[in-house]
Structure 1
Amino acid sequence: MLRNTLIHCFFFLSICGFSQSNDTIKVVKRIYQTNSIQDQDAPTIDGVLDEAAWDLVPWTADFIEKEPDENTPPSQQTKFKIVYDQKHLYVGFRCLDTEADKIEKRLSRRDGFQGDWVEINLDTYHDKRTGFSFTITAAGVKGDEFISRNGNNWDGSWNPIWYTATTIDDEGWWAEIKIPLSQLKFGKSKEQIWGLQVTRRLFRKEERSVWQRIPQDAPGWVSEFGELHGLLNIEPQKQLEIQPFGVTQLDTYEAEDGNSFRDGEDFKLNAGIDAKIGITNDLTLDLTVNPDFGQVEADPAAIALDGFQIFFEEQRPFFVENKNIFDYRFANNADNLFYSRRIGRSPQGNISTTDDDFADVPKNSTILGAAKFSGKTKDGWSIGVLESVTSREIATVEDVLGNRREAVVEPLTNYFVGRLQKDFNERNTYVGGIFTGVHRDLGDQLLIDLDNPASDESMELVGLRENALESSLRQSAYTGGFDFRHNWKDRKYFIEGNIVASHVTGSKEAITETQTSITHLFQRSDASHVEVDSSRTSLTGTGGKLTAGKSGGGNWRYDGGFYWRSPELELNDIGFLRQADEIQQFSNLRYLFLKPTKLYRRAEVAFNQFATFDFEGNYNRIQYRLFGFINYKNNWWTEVGLGHKPRIYGNTVLRGGPRWRFSDDNYAFLFFGSDRRKKFHFTVGYDGSRAAHNDYTYDRFVVRLNYQPLDALSVSFNPEFQINKDKTQYVATEDFGETPRYITGNIEQNTLSASIRINYTINPNLTIQYYGQPFISRGRYSNFNYVNNPLAKKLSDRITLYSPDQVSTRDDDYSIDENRDGLEDYDFDNPDFAFVQFRSNLVLRWEYIPGSEIFLVWSQGINGDGDAGNKLFKSLDNQILGQKPENTFVLKVTYRFIL
Structure 2
Amino acid sequence: MRTIFLFCFFISVLSIQAQIERKELLTNRVTETPVIDGKLDEKAWENAETAKDFVMFEPGDGDKEPEDQKTEVKIIYDNSAIYVGAYLYDSNPDKILRQLSERDNFGTADFFAIGISPNNDGQNMYAFFVTSGATQLDAQFSPANGEDFSWNEVWFSEVSFDEKGWYVEMKIPYSALRFASGEEMIWGLNLHRRIESSRQQYVWNYIDKSTGRFTQYDGVLKGLKNIDPPTRLSFSPFGSFIMNSYDGNTDTSLNFGMDLKYGITDNFTLFATLVPDFSQAGFDNVVLNLGPFEQVFSEQRQFFIEGADLLNKGNLFFSRRIGNAPVGRGDIEDTYDENEIVDNPDEVKVLNAVKVTGRSQKGLGVGVLNAVTENTYATIIDTITGETSRIKTEPLANYNVFVVDQEFNKNSSIGIVNTNVLREGNFRDANVTSLVMSLANRANSYRFSLDGSTSTIRENEINTTGFSSRMEFEKTKGSIRYSIRHRFADDKYDKNDLGFQRNNNYNDIMGNVSYQIFKPTDHFNNFRISFFAGHFRRFDPSVSTGNYMQLAAFATNLKQYSYRLEIGTNLGERVDFFEPRTEGRFWKQNGMFSTEGFLSTDFRKRLAAEIGLEYRKRYGSEEQSYELGFSPRFRMNDRLEFGYGFVLDKSLNQPGYVDTLEDETIIFGVRQNNQIENSFSGKYNFNDKSSISVSFRHYWSTVAYEDQYYQLDEDGYLSPHPYSENNDVNFNNWNLDLRYVWQFTRGSELVALYRNTIENQNDRSYLSFGENLSELLDQPYGHLLSIKVIYFLDYNNVKSWLKKENS
In the alignment, what sits opposite 1:534? none
In the alignment, what sits opposite 2:441? 488
Whole-angstrom distance in 2 between the partners of 1:727 and 1:759: 40
**Identity within the alignment, %:** 27
> Which of the residues 21, 26, 34 maps onto 1:43?
34
In the alignment, what sits opposite 2:530? 606
Q: 1:298 to 1:801 in 2, by over 3 A?
A: same
Whole-angstrom distance in 2 between the partners of 1:25 and 1:708: 45
Q: How many residues of Structure 1 are paired with residues of Structure 2 in the alignment?
A: 775
In the alignment, what sits opposite 2:114? 120
The Cα of 1:694 is off from its aligned counterpart by 3.2
Matched letter for residue 505 of structure 1: R
> Which of the residues 297, 305, 318 maps onto 2:282?
297
> Which of the residues 620, 643, 649 maps onto 2:575?
649
The Cα of 1:367 is off from its aligned counterpart by 1.3
Matched letter for residue 649 of structure 1: V
- Are 2:681 and 1:757 aligned? yes
Whole-angstrom distance in 2 between the partners of 1:362 and 1:786: 35
> Which of the residues 837, 850, 859 maps onto 2:755?
859
What SS does structure 2 have at the residue aligned with 1:326?
Answer: coil
In the alignment, what sits opposite 1:461? none
In the alignment, what sits opposite 1:366? 349
Whole-angstrom distance in 1 between the partners of 2:120 and 2:198: 33
In the alignment, what sits opposite 2:431? 478
> Which of the residues 763, 769, 774 maps onto 1:873?
769
Please say if residues 857 and 889 of structure 1, whose CA atoms lie closer than 8 Å, have aligned partners that are also in contact. yes
In the alignment, what sits opposite 2:12? none
In the alignment, what sits opposite 2:224? 231
Matched letter for residue 129 of structure 1: Q
The Cα of 1:315 is off from its aligned counterpart by 1.6
CA deviations 1:375-408 (Å, max 9, x no partner) are 1111111111111111112334467898643232
CA deviations 1:28-48 (Å, max 9, x no partner) are 2211111111xx211110001
The Cα of 1:556 is off from its aligned counterpart by 1.3
Please say if residues 328 and 393 of structure 2, whose CA atoms lie closer than 8 Å, have aligned partners that are also in contact. yes
Please say if residues 216 and 410 of structure 2, whose CA atoms lie closer than 8 Å, have aligned partners that are also in contact. no
Please say if residues 492 and 551 of structure 1, whose CA atoms lie closer than 8 Å, have aligned partners that are also in contact. yes
Please say if residues 739 and 754 of structure 2, whose CA atoms lie closer than 8 Å, have aligned partners that are also in contact. yes
In the alignment, what sits opposite 1:500? 453
Whole-angstrom distance in 2 between the partners of 1:189 and 1:676: 46
In the TM superposition, what are the counterparts of 1:347-362 in structure 2 within 5 Å?
A: 347-350=326-329, 351=332, 357=340, 359-362=342-345
Q: 1:159 to 1:69 in 2, by over 3 A?
A: same
> Which of the residues 681, 684, 704 maps onto 1:780?
704
Please say if residues 348 and 376 of structure 2, whose CA atoms lie closer than 8 Å, have aligned partners that are also in contact. yes
Please say if residues 117 and 189 of structure 2, whose CA atoms lie closer than 8 Å, have aligned partners that are also in contact. yes
What SS does structure 2 have at the residue aligned with 1:108?
Answer: coil
> Which of the residues 384, 389, 392 maps onto 1:405?
389
The Cα of 1:73 is off from its aligned counterpart by 2.3
The Cα of 1:681 is off from its aligned counterpart by 0.6
Whole-angstrom distance in 2 between the partners of 1:876 and 1:842: 24
In the alignment, what sits opposite 1:733? 660
Q: 1:893 to 1:363 in 2, by over 3 A?
A: farther
The Cα of 1:644 is off from its aligned counterpart by 1.5
Q: 1:644 to 1:146 in 2, by over 3 A?
A: same
In the alignment, what sits opposite 2:44? 53
CA deviations 1:62-99 (Å, max 9, x no partner) are 11112222222234211100111121010000000001
In the alignment, what sits opposite 1:883? 779
The Cα of 1:598 is off from its aligned counterpart by 2.5
In the alignment, what sits opposite 2:320? 341
Whole-angstrom distance in 1 between the partners of 2:119 and 2:772: 54
Larger radius of gyration: 1
- The unaligned stretches of length 5 or more in structure 1 are 11-21, 256-263, 330-335, 443-469, 509-536, 792-797, 808-813, 815-828
In the alignment, what sits opposite 1:637? 562
Please say if residues 566 and 580 of structure 1, whose CA atoms lie closer than 8 Å, have aligned partners that are also in contact. yes
Matched letter for residue 549 of structure 2: Y
Matched letter for residue 148 of structure 1: S
Q: 1:435 to 1:369 in 2, by over 3 A?
A: same
> Which of the residues 422, 437, 441 maps onto 2:406?
422
Whole-angstrom distance in 2 between the partners of 1:356 and 1:436: 37
The Cα of 1:558 is off from its aligned counterpart by 1.6
> Which of the residues 89, 92, 95 maps onto 1:99?
92
Please say if residues 34 and 42 of structure 2, whose CA atoms lie closer than 8 Å, have aligned partners that are also in contact. yes
What SS does structure 1 have at the residue aligned with 2:774?
Answer: helix
> Which of the residues 102, 124, 140 maps onto 1:130?
124
Whole-angstrom distance in 2 between the partners of 1:716 and 1:161: 30
In the TM superposition, what are the counterparts of 1:529-678 in structure 2 within 5 Å?
A: 537-552=462-477, 554-615=478-539, 616-647=541-572, 648-656=574-582, 658-678=585-605
CA deviations 1:522-541 (Å, max 9, x no partner) are xxxxxxxxxxxxxxx12100
Whole-angstrom distance in 2 between the partners of 1:881 and 1:198: 53
In the alignment, what sits opposite 2:262? 277
CA deviations 1:585-605 (Å, max 9, x no partner) are 111111012221221111111
Whole-angstrom distance in 2 between the partners of 1:650 and 1:127: 46
> Which of the residues 317, 321, 325 maps onto 2:302?
317
What SS does structure 1 have at the residue aligned with 2:309?
Answer: helix
The Cα of 1:778 is off from its aligned counterpart by 0.7
Larger displacement relative to structure 2 (767-776 or 346-355): 346-355
- The unaligned stretches of length 5 or more in structure 2 are 5-14, 796-807
- Are 2:198 and 1:205 aligned? yes
The Cα of 1:878 is off from its aligned counterpart by 2.9
Please say if residues 345 and 378 of structure 2, whose CA atoms lie closer than 8 Å, have aligned partners that are also in contact. yes
Matched letter for residue 232 of structure 1: K
The Cα of 1:635 is off from its aligned counterpart by 0.3
Whole-angstrom distance in 1 between the partners of 2:207 and 2:182: 28
In the TM superposition, what are the counterparts of 1:46-195 in structure 2 within 5 Å?
A: 46-75=37-66, 76-114=69-107, 115-149=109-143, 153-195=146-188
In the alignment, what sits opposite 2:804? none
Whole-angstrom distance in 2 between the partners of 1:620 and 1:363: 35
Please say if residues 365 and 406 of structure 2, whose CA atoms lie closer than 8 Å, have aligned partners that are also in contact. yes
Matched letter for residue 149 of structure 1: P
Larger displacement relative to structure 2 (401-410 or 570-579): 401-410
- Are 2:716 and 1:801 aligned? no
Matched letter for residue 406 of structure 1: R
Matched letter for residue 318 of structure 2: Y
Please say if residues 862 and 885 of structure 1, whose CA atoms lie closer than 8 Å, have aligned partners that are also in contact. yes
Please say if residues 455 and 494 of structure 2, whose CA atoms lie closer than 8 Å, have aligned partners that are also in contact. yes
Alignment TM-score, normalising by the size of structure 1: 0.83
Matched letter for residue 591 of structure 1: Y
CA deviations 1:614-662 (Å, max 9, x no partner) are 1122111211111101101100111001112114211112122522221
CA deviations 1:519-576 (Å, max 9, x no partner) are xxxxxxxxxxxxxxxxxx1210011111111222x21122112111111001111111
The Cα of 1:278 is off from its aligned counterpart by 0.8
The Cα of 1:735 is off from its aligned counterpart by 5.4
Whole-angstrom distance in 1 between the partners of 2:272 and 2:606: 42
CA deviations 1:444-471 (Å, max 9, x no partner) are xxxxxxxxxxxxxxxxxxxxxxxxxx5x
Whole-angstrom distance in 1 between the partners of 2:446 and 2:221: 27
Q: 1:591 to 1:232 in 2, by over 3 A?
A: same
The Cα of 1:418 is off from its aligned counterpart by 0.6
What SS does structure 2 have at the residue aligned with 1:201?
Answer: strand
Whole-angstrom distance in 1 between the partners of 2:360 and 2:339: 61
